[in-house]
Amino acid sequence: MDWTAYRAVLFDLDGVITPTAEVHMRAWADLFEPVLEEHGAEPYTDQDYFDHVDGKPRYDGVRDLLASRGIELPEGSPDDGADAETVCGLGNRKDQAFMQALEEGGVSPYPGSLALMEQLRDAGTAMAIVSSSRNAPRVLQTAGVTEFFPVVVHGGVAEERGLPGKPAPDTYEEAARLLGVADADAVVVEDATSGVAAGAAGDFALVIGVDRGTGADALLAAGADVVVTDLGELVGPLPQGTDRGEG
């Protein structure tokens, strides 16, 4: 992989940089299992996470999962309490569970992802995080990798700026703009089909899928140019003469 061909790399966070996708999966399961049982609907499975929730803004994930079971709930508002039986209330309940799990268990970056981030930093390649989660800054801080990402476009930023979430490409385009890099000079790295589709919908140089359980075929079908199982596979020696600095 010749990273010198690109000026920036735009990473999703959960499941790409940190294993927090697993924490999200547990939080979603804990949310939906009793809700679906209460409505007499087909039980929740891990595949539901990949099909309806993964990579999307939180309330969109709630709405899409409920729709898959033919369940309609009031939309509510973002101010709804976690006990409210609304789309926003359920989303807030899930967020509460995620933050509790994060605080109790902490999180560290994937070793392969960290190795790639260090190589890109040393080569002077710009990096950004593009995450549907409003908790991205907290996750980055907990994982100790904030320094790598001068730009973080998370769900709160998207809402403030009126940007549609993944699978629309807008949040990735915003990250490239903030880095001062043309979309065509940037690489998108994603583990969710919705995120891969967002990269494929834009004018980006390359879309890399990371298969953490979604499946290589699904990522390729969503628009990935290449799929790996770990970002360590893309770490390689820098060209001769490249100053790695002291990092």
Catalytic positions, written as ranges = 12, 14
Is 165 within 8 Å of 56 (Cβ atoms)? yes
Closest C-alpha among 54, 57, 6, 9 to residue 28? 54
Q: Enter the DSSP assignment of 161.
A: T
**Separation of alpha carbons 12 and 173, rounded Å:** 13
Over the Cα atoms of the chain, what is R_g? 18
Structure tokens at 95: 């967020």
- What is residue 212's three-state secondary structure? coil
**Which string of DSSP letters, residue by residue, matches 118-137?**
HHHHHHT-EEEEE-S-TTHH
Is 17 within 8 Å of 109 (Cβ atoms)? yes
Residue type, 23: V
- What is residue 227's three-state secondary structure? strand
